[in-house]
Amino acid sequence: MARLVDNPELAFRLARAIISDIALYNQDKVREGIKNDNIFELLEEELQEGREHFHSRVSPDLSNRDHLYDRAVVDVMIRQAGKIESSIW
């Protein structure tokens, strides 16, 4: 069994990689979700699957584990979508 990540920096890096993959493979949904302000609804399944994968690789003892994943969503997916025209900006 692989050792779980217990370093916050490495866990955040993993979260960013997972979110990058979600954004890459769902570019149309990201664009539509930003444009229509429903990105979390459109990507609910993908983001939940990503979170489950993240949890499977990161120690549950890491106190801010969910915060790291959520921060990666904002840093990677939302911030990079800032160039998409939307009423939310």
Is residue 28 within 8 A of residue 22, CB to CB? The reply is no
Does residue 89 sit within a domain? no
Closest to 48 (Cα-Cα) out of 24, 78, 70: 70
C-beta of residue 29 within 8 angstroms of C-beta of residue 81: no
State the Cα–Cα distance between residues 66 and 50, nearest whole angstrom: 12
Instruction: Confirm whether 60 is domain-assigned.
Output: yes
Is 88 a domain residue?
Answer: no
Residue 25 one-letter amino acid: Y
pLDDT tens per residue across span 10-49: 999 999 999 999 999 999 999 999 989 999 999 999 999 9
Confidence check: pLDDT of 8 > 70: yes
Domain count, the chain: 1
Residue 69 within a domain? yes
Which band of pLDDT confidence, cut at 50, 70 and 90, is reported for residue 70? very high
- Does any domain span residue 56? yes
Residue 38 inside a domain? The answer is: yes
